[in-house]
């Protein structure tokens, strides 16, 4: 069975291992636990359960910038996407977009986030397309040599408002 | 019993203490040394000296000072407090807890002792002292938020939910008073709103835990406006309504949740249960059909029917499901339907074959994705060569997802070498893709090519750095999903030092995971995220159940036992000598190179002084090490047969027969298979009979215990005859028994005729035969006949 749900603190060690198997930027568990306990509503996982065993195939970690000393005082509450990844074989299913939508809505509701920012590798065209076209992010600037291997990053932002809440007609069609 | 210090000493001690607290360690040392010269048994001063030299980086002296200090002054709250500080500094939380508790019992009014004891008691899960100290802390200041939250947490953990609710009520009143002091008309700052919301949801959790769903629901509704976490509000509300049997409200609540997240499988399951349709296939089918229509992009409502539909309906649904995925070019299509092969093999087979018979699309990518599905289908239904043919005909032979499928199919035929090779090539084609890199490293392990695997796995952690290998970094990065299989692979290729080094590395990561929680005992409640913090405690409580911990311990236990018993690993002396020289030269070369400072670091890299795990091979009592690693399993996995099988092996190697047999009894009570019990019984008897140190009477007594776990014949029959009769069903165990009995004559031919059809068993058997130095020609021939591509034969 496939499922997308909010991550609990119990998921973060597996998120750590998924991150290590997917992306070059990695985190100690202690940092991830700090993330989990500081912003418990921000992170979501996509899981696949087969033969009774649930396995994480994608995740998004989102935080608030409330621990960012560099932001000017009285900045609007801003969210930041720390890391997002979906196992390569699970692409083309819209999982990353679905994870992000859930996460952004929670950040808006729980923490009153008015903005959300992220960095994406210049070469990651699929992710860029997702952020820009599906989720409505805008490129703010290019951060030169942002990554450890010197690749440039696009710094992206999106304004968060209540349009995050899906507008599906509330009919009774799905009732028996 | 120590005497009270003289006035002179007491004054000097106070002065030294002030210097220590002002971080003036050098002068503090001079002062404390003067005291100790006059009064060498002044316990407080000894403990203070321990802390002072700790900060002067003379850390190897500390423990002795602390032990001596607390021995000389067993009734000094100050000495125990300082001992506690020392243990806390070195993250020895069990001893820190004991020291703080002693200090607290001797003199209960030190606020800093309260604070640390409160953290240590929860770290050690000592709920009695936890509750006691947290109640004491209330007297320290009722306006401190943390005091209230911590007390409620202690009460929650003691399952005193009503008390926790009362504590949080009082705390809520305090927060209300504080809020009123804010200038009127102004909304509370966001951070305070968030903290309040979290507290309310924690309190609500207490109502839920009490099982009082009515009160929980009322509480939730009462605080609706203040609860910011809307998802928690919706989920809890839906759950309580369901529990209270308020069917139509609960249905609406779950429909709202599905609307919010149509991909959460649990919402659908709960909704089905409330509607009481779980027993009716046709109602369930209608239910999911309408939801799939309403949420066309959601996966769950399309997927669930595959688990309950039957016959033609399943056939049609499965076919449509797969076709839609292939049309979109989803490479993981097979993973979504794999479970259907378990529940409805015949229909899966038919559908897959029908899809395979359809004609290919023009589009190269879609054609290739289709080939992936068909190949996995064919391989899963044991048509491996056909599967490979389909892959060969794919239009995009280099598509990584195709190569991954190909590697899987090859592995299922025992061709680990080719699987590893093609994945390495795929990873090289896309050097920025860590997913492929990780897969290539793992497949190299399956092929027992450890050196290659380490080379691949090192690429990302050492990017841009000059260093020996990346595994040190991967250990620092806590990459246990790689390190545990790496340890197992080293063990397979008889590299014992490395197997132990990597297995112990995994164990140390888990110990770090356990210690990691310490700071959160403060941070979690302070931040207000109590629910997330309680989840952390729960996760840590089952930490050592983790399959990677078990995997590492299995490797280490096996290696330590082999080390202790001097077991032959089948590697000839010449090869061993060569490797030894090679490694010695490597170390010499490494030590002669100047220290290297990677870009962006201000200190040179720390060198691994023991790159090949010599330290573990030199352990004086390897079986004690094995037992140390096993102990957390006894706590974490007491109902797992494996736990007791490992205990049996360790105790047997220690000649502790009673404990070994008791472990077997536990395994038996948990349902261990009879062939295993017969095997283990035979092993115990065999060893008892050879053990000349055991007295005859005692030996006979111990033998008498065996029929309680294995067939009576275990003590009456000849052992060879016994294992042939009772262990034969498990051919690998039987072979092992034949080997330890020294009757290896029939092993190769029996394995050749009986397990050749099972590729997993063949892989294991090939390793064992090499280890036992048996001529495996006949076995190899039989395996080759069944598995022409097998790459693991010696």
Contact between A110 and B197 using a beta-carbon 8 Å cutoff:
yes
Rg of chain B's alpha carbons, rounded to an integer?
33
Query: Quick one: tokens of A4?
Result: 């997308």
Judge contact between B339 and A51, C-beta under 8 A. yes
In chain A, which residues have their Cβ closer than 8 Å to the Cβ of B232?
A: 41
| A114-to-A160, B95, B104, B194 alpha-carbon distances in Å | 5, 47, 48, 15
Identify the band that residue B185 occupies on the pLDDT scale cut at 50, 70 and 90. low
For residue B715, being part of any structural domain is answered with: no
Alpha carbon distances (Å) from A113 to A76, A101, A116, A138: 8, 14, 7, 17
3-state secondary structure B759-791: HHHHHHHHHHHHHCCCCCHHHHHHHHHHCCCCC
Domain of B137, CATH number, reads: 1.25.40.1040
| Bridge partners for A78 per DSSP | A115
Contact flag A110-B331 (C-beta cutoff 8 Å): no
- Chain B residues inside the 8 Å CB shell of A89: 331-332, 335, 401, 404
Residue B1 has pLDDT above 70, yes or no: no
What's the total number of domains in chain B?
A: 3
Domain assignment present for A144 = yes
pLDDT at B243 over 90: yes
In a domain, A171, yes or no: no
In the beta sheet, which residues pair with residue A83?
A61
Q: How many residues does chain A have?
A: 176
Q: Which residue has the tokens 């100690």?
A: A28
Q: Give tens-digit pLDDT for B695-751.
A: 888 888 888 999 999 999 999 999 999 999 999 999 999 999 999 999 999 999 999
Segment B346-372, tens digit of pLDDT = 999 999 999 999 999 999 999 999 999
pLDDT computed for residue B465 by the predictor? 57
Find the residue in B nearest to A23 (Cα).
B434
- DSSP string of B201-230? HHHHHHHHHHT-HHHHHHHHHHTGGG---H
**Of B543, B566, B598, which residue sits at a domain end?**
B598
pLDDT at residue B589, rounded to an integer: 86
pLDDT for residue B468: 57
Share the mean pLDDT of chain B.
93
Are residues B231 and A6, on separate chains, in Cβ contact within 8 Å?
yes
In a domain, B394, yes or no: no
pLDDT the model gives residue B407 = 97
| pLDDT interval class at B472 (50, 70, 90) | confident
Tokens of B787: 């598995």
Asked if B299 and A93 come within 8 Å (Cβ–Cβ), the reply is: yes
Beta bridge partners of A58: A46, A86
Q: Tell me what percent of chain B is helix, strand and coil, each rounded to the nearest 5.
A: 75, 0, 25
The SS3 assignment for B457 reads helix
- For A122, B271, B528, B654, the CA distances from A139, given in Å and listed in that order, are 11, 41, 35, 66
Beta-ladder partners of A54: A49
The shortest C-alpha distance from B296 to chain A (Å) reads 12
Sign, CA dihedral B460-B462-B468-B469, equals negative
Instruction: Give the DSSP per-residue string, B146-168.
Output: HHHHHHHHHHHHTT-HHHHHHHH
Cβ-defined contact of A2 to B435 (cutoff 8 Å):
no
**Boundary-marking domain end, from B535, B569, B598:** B598
Contacts of A26 in chain B (CB under 8 A): 477
* Cβ distance of A21 and B291 shorter than 8 Å: no
The CA distance from B130 to A95, in Å, is 44
- Partners of B401 on chain A (C-beta within 8 Å) are 88-89
**DSSP string for chain A:** -EEEEE--GGGHHHHHHHHHHH-S----HHHHHHHHHHSTTS-EEEEEEETTEEEEEEEEEEEEGGG-TTSPTTPPPEEEEEEEEE-GGGTTSSHHHHHHHHHHHHHHHHH---EEEEEEETT-HHHHHIIIIIT--EEEEEETT-STT---EEEEEEE--GGGS------STT--
Q: Are B516 and A22 in contact (CB < 8 Å)?
A: no
Q: How far apart are CA B537 and CA B169, in angstroms?
A: 24
pLDDT tens digits, residue range A34-75? 999 999 999 999 999 988 899 999 999 999 998 787 888 788
CB B80 within 8 A of CB B95: no
Question: From CA A106, how far away is CA B477, in angstroms rounded?
Answer: 29
pLDDT for res B220: 98
Q: Is residue A50 part of a domain?
A: yes
- Chain A residues lying within 8 Å of B434, measured CB to CB: 21-24
What is the nearest CA distance from B91 to chain A, expressed in angstroms?
15
Q: Which pLDDT does position B184 carry in this prediction?
A: 59
The answer to whether residue A175 is domain-embedded is no
Tell me the shortest Cα–Cα distance from A97 to chain B, in angstroms.
11
Q: Residue B464 pLDDT more than 70?
A: no
Residue in the structure block whose two tokens are 């920012």 = A117
Closest Cα of chain A to B742: distance in Å? 40
- CATH value at residue A150: 3.40.630.30
CB contact under 8 A, B432 and A3: no
pLDDT tens readout for residues B646-675: 999 999 999 999 999 999 999 999 999 999
Query: How close is the nearest chain A Cα to the Cα of B253, in Å?
Result: 12
**What's the Cα-to-Cα distance from B714 to each of A27, B423, B697, rounded to whole Å?**
54, 49, 18
Q: Which residues of A touch B329 (CB under 8 A)?
A: 92
Q: Per the CB < 8 Å rule, is A174 touching B546?
A: no
Degrees (nearest 5) of the Cα angle B97, B103, B106? 140
DSSP conformational letter for B2: P
**pLDDT tens, position by position, B485-517:** 999 999 999 999 999 999 999 999 999 999 999
Q: Distance, in angstroms, between B381 CA and closest chain A CA?
A: 17
Of A2, A29, A173, which is closest to B516 when you measure between CB atoms? Answer: A29
Cα dihedral sign for A63, A68, A74, A80? negative
User: Mean pLDDT throughout B138-156?
Assistant: 86
Structure tokens given for B587: 């170390």
Residue where one domain finishes, among candidates B539, B567, B598: B598
Backbone angles phi, psi at A49, to 5 degrees: -110, 120
B222-229 long-range contacts, CB within 8 A, separation 24+: B226/B193, B226/B196, B226/B197, B226/B200, B227/B197, B227/B200, B227/B201, B228/A109, B228/A110, B228/A111, B228/A112, B228/B193, B228/B194, B228/B197, B229/A41, B229/A106, B229/A109, B229/A110, B229/B197, B229/B198, B229/B201
Of the candidates B264, B329, B516, the beta carbon closest to that of A92 is on B329
Region B320-339: mean pLDDT is 95
- Report the alpha-carbon angle B766-B769-B774, nearest 5: 140
Least CB–CB distance from A9: residue in B264, B433, B532: B532
Residue B527 is nearest to which of A17, A23, A38, comparing CB atoms? A38
d(CA B735, CA B260): 57
- What is the three-class DSSP state of B15? helix
- Residue from A18, A22, A91, A93 whose CB has the most chain B CBs within 10 Å, to mutate: A93
Mean pLDDT calculated for residue range B251-258: 96
Closest CA to B419 of B453, B386, B370, B390: B453
Contact B523 A91 (CB under 8 A): no
* Residues of chain A with C-beta less than 8 angstroms from the C-beta of B248: none
Tens digit of each residue's pLDDT (9 = 90 or more) over B29-76: 999 999 999 999 999 999 999 999 999 999 999 999 999 999 999 999
Find the domain containing B755 and state its range: 744-794
Cβ-contact B372, B402 below 8 angstroms = yes
The whole-number pLDDT of residue A176 equals 45
User: Residue B277 domain-assigned?
Assistant: no
Contact B255 A174 (CB under 8 A): yes
Task: Please choose, from the candidates A120, A24, A126, the residue with its C-alpha nearest in 3D space to the C-alpha of residue A81.
Answer: A120
Residue B476, burial from CB neighbour count under 10 angstroms (0-12, 13-18, 19+): middle
Kindly report the average pLDDT of chain A as a whole number.
90
Looking at the domain assignment, is residue A133 inside a domain? Answer: yes
Domain-embedded: residue A143: yes
Q: Structural domain tally of chain A?
A: 1
Secondary structure class of B246 (helix, strand, coil): coil
How many other CB atoms sit within 10 Å of the CB of residue A166?
12
**Inter-chain touch B335–A50, beta carbons under 8 Å:** yes
pLDDT for the residue A23: 93
Length of chain B: 794
Q: Is the dihedral of CA B140, B142, B148, B151 positive or negative?
A: positive
Place of tokens 């590299």: B495
Smallest Cβ–Cβ distance between A21 and the set B287, B329, B481 belongs to B481
Closest residue to A9, CB basis, from B339, B513, B536: B536
- Residues of chain B with C-beta less than 8 angstroms from the C-beta of A5: 261, 264, 266
- pLDDT at position B463 is 63
- Does the structure show a pLDDT above 90 at A96? yes
Alpha carbons B531 and B122: distance in angstroms, whole number:
16
- Per-residue model confidence (pLDDT) at position A167: 52
Report the C-alpha gap between B380 and B353 in whole angstroms: 12
* Mean pLDDT, rounded, for B233-239: 98
Min distance B61 CA to chain A CA atoms (Å): 30
CA dist B204 and B216 (Å) reads 6
Question: Under 8 Å CB-to-CB from A122, ≥6 apart: which residues?
Answer: A142, A151, A152, A153, A154
Query: Looking at the partner chain, which of A37, A109, A168 has a beta carbon nearest the beta carbon of B228?
Result: A109
Query: Which residues of B are less than 8 Å from A9 in CB distance?
Result: 532-533, 535-536, 539
Kindly provide the ipTM of the predicted complex, given to two decimals.
0.94
Q: Mind telling me how many Å the CA of A57 is from chain B's nearest CA? A: 11
The chain A residue lying nearest B296, using CA atoms, is: A168
What domain range includes position A73? 2-163
Q: Which residues pair with A48 in a beta bridge?
A: A2, A55
Alpha carbon of B786 to those of B383, B569, B751, B756, B780: distances in Å? 13, 28, 13, 7, 10
Asked if B197's CB is within 8 angstroms of A90's CB, the reply is no
Mean pLDDT for B376-386 is 95
Smallest Cα–Cα separation from B200: which of B167, B217, B230, B223?
Answer: B223
Q: List, for residues B763-783, the tens digit of each pLDDT value.
A: 999 999 999 999 999 999 999
The closest of B246, B388, B453, B219 to B789, measured between CA atoms, is B388
- The closest of B694, B679, B695, B692 to B741, measured between CA atoms, is B679
Cβ-Cβ pairs closer than 8 A, A with B, add up to 179
- More confident position, B298 or B694: B298
Rounded to a whole number of angstroms, the distance from the CA of B288 to the nearest CA of chain A is: 8
């Amino acid at each position: 069975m496939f499922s997308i749900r909010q991550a609990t603190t119990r998921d973060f060690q597996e998120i750590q291992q998924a991150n290590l198997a997917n992306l070059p930027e990695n985190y100690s568990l202690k940092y991830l636990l700090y993330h989990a306990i500081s912003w418990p509503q921000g992170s979501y996982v996509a899981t696949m359960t087969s033969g009774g065993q649930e396995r994480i195939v994608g995740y998004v970690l989102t935080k608030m910038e409330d621990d960012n000393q560099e932001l000017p005082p009285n900045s609007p509450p801003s969210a930041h996407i720390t890391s997002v990844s979906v196992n390569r074989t699970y692409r083309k299913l819209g999982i990353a977009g679905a994870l992000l939508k859930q996460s952004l809505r929670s950040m808006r509701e729980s923490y009153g986030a008015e903005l959300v920012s992220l960095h994406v590798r210049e070469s990651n065209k699929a992710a860029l397309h997702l952020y820009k076209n599906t989720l409505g992010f805008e490129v703010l600037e290019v951060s030169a040599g942002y990554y450890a291997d010197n690749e440039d990053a696009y710094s992206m932002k999106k304004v968060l408002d209540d349009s995050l809440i899906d507008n599906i007609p509330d009919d009774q069609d799905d009732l028996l | 019993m120590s005497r009270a210090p003289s006035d002179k000493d007491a004054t000097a001690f106070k002065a030294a203490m002030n210097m220590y607290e002002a971080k003036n360690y050098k002068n503090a040392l001079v002062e404390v040394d003067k005291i100790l010269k006059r009064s060498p048994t002044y316990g407080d001063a000894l403990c203070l000296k321990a802390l002072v030299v700790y900060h002067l980086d003379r850390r190897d002296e500390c423990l002795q000072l602390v032990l001596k200090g607390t021995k000389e002054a067993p009734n000094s709250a100050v000495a125990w407090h300082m001992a506690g500080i020392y243990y806390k500094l070195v993250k020895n939380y069990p001893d820190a807890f004991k020291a703080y508790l002693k200090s607290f019992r001797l003199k209960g009014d030190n606020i800093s002792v309260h604070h640390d004891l409160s953290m240590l008691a929860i770290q050690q899960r000592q709920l009695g002292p936890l509750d006691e100290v947290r109640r004491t802390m209330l007297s320290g200041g009722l306006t401190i938020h943390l005091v209230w939250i911590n007390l409620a947490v202690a009460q929650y953990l003691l399952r005193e939910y009503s008390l926790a609710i009362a504590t949080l009520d009082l705390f809520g009143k305090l927060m209300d008073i504080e809020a009123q002091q804010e200038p009127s008309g102004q909304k509370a700052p966001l951070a305070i709103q968030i903290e309040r919301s979290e507290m309310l949801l924690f309190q609500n959790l207490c109502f839920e835990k009490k099982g009082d769903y009515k009160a929980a629901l009322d509480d939730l509704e009462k605080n609706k406006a203040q609860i910011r976490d809307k998802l928690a509000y919706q989920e809890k509300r839906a759950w309580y309504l369901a529990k209270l049997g308020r069917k139509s409200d609960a249905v609406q609540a779950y429909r709202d949740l599905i609307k919010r997240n149509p991909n959460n499988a649990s919402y659908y399951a709960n909704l089905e249960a409330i509607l009481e349709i779980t027993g009716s296939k046709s109602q369930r089918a209608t239910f999911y059909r309408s939801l799939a229509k309403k949420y066309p992009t959601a996966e769950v409502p399309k997927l669930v029917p595959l688990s309950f539909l039957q016959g033609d309906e399943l056939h049609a649904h499965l076919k449509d499901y797969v076709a839609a995925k292939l049309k979109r070019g989803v490479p993981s299509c097979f993973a979504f339907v794999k479970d259907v092969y378990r529940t409805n093999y015949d229909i899966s087979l038919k559908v897959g074959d029908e899809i395979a018979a359809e004609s290919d699309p023009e589009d190269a990518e879609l054609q290739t994705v289709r080939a992936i599905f068909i190949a996995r289908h064919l391989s899963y239904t044991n048509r491996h060569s056909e599967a490979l043919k389909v892959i060969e005909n794919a239009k995009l032979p280099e598509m990584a997802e195709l190569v991954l499928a190909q590697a899987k199919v090859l592995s299922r035929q025992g061709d680990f070498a080719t699987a590893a090779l093609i994945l390495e090539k795929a990873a090289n084609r896309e050097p920025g893709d860590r997913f492929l890199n990780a897969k290539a490293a793992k497949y190299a392990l399956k092929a027992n090519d450890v050196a290659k695997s380490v080379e691949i796995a090192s690429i990302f952690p050492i990017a841009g750095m000059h260093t020996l290998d990346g595994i040190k970094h991967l250990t620092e990065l806590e990459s246990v999903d790689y390190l545990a299989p790496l340890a197992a692979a080293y063990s397979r290729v008889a590299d014992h030092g490395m197997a132990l080094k990597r297995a112990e590395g995994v164990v140390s990561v888990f110990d770090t995971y356990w210690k990691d929680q310490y700071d959160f005992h403060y941070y979690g409640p302070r931040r207000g995220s109590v629910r997330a913090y309680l989840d952390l405690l729960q996760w840590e409580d089952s930490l050592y159940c983790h399959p990677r911990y078990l995997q590492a311990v299995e490797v280490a236990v096996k290696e330590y036992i082999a080390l202790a018993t001097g077991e032959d690993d089948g590697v000839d002396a010449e090869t061993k000598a060569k490797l030894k020289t090679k490694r010695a030269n490597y170390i010499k070369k490494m030590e002669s190179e100047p220290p290297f400072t990677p870009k962006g670091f201000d200190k040179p890299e720390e060198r691994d002084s023991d790159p090949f795990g010599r330290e573990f091979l030199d352990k004086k009592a390897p079986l004690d090490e094995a037992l140390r690693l096993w102990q957390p399993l006894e706590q974490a996995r007491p109902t797992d047969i494996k736990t007791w099988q490992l205990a049996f092996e360790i105790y047997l190697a220690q000649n502790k027969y009673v404990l070994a047999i008791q472990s077997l009894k536990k395994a038996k009570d948990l349902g261990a298979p009879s062939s295993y019990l017969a095997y283990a019984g035979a092993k115990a008897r065999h060893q008892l009979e050879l053990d000349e140190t055991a007295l005859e009477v005692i030996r006979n007594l111990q033998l008498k215990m065996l029929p309680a776990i294995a067939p009576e014949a275990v003590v009456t029959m000849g052992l060879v005859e016994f294992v042939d009769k009772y262990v034969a069903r498990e051919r690998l165990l039987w072979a092992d028994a034949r080997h330890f009995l020294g009757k290896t004559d029939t092993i190769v031919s029996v394995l050749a005729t009986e397990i050749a059809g099972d590729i997993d068993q063949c892989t294991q058997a090939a390793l064992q035969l090499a280890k036992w130095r048996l001529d495996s020609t006949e076995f190899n021939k039989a395996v080759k006949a069944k598995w022409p591509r097998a790459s693991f034969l010696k």
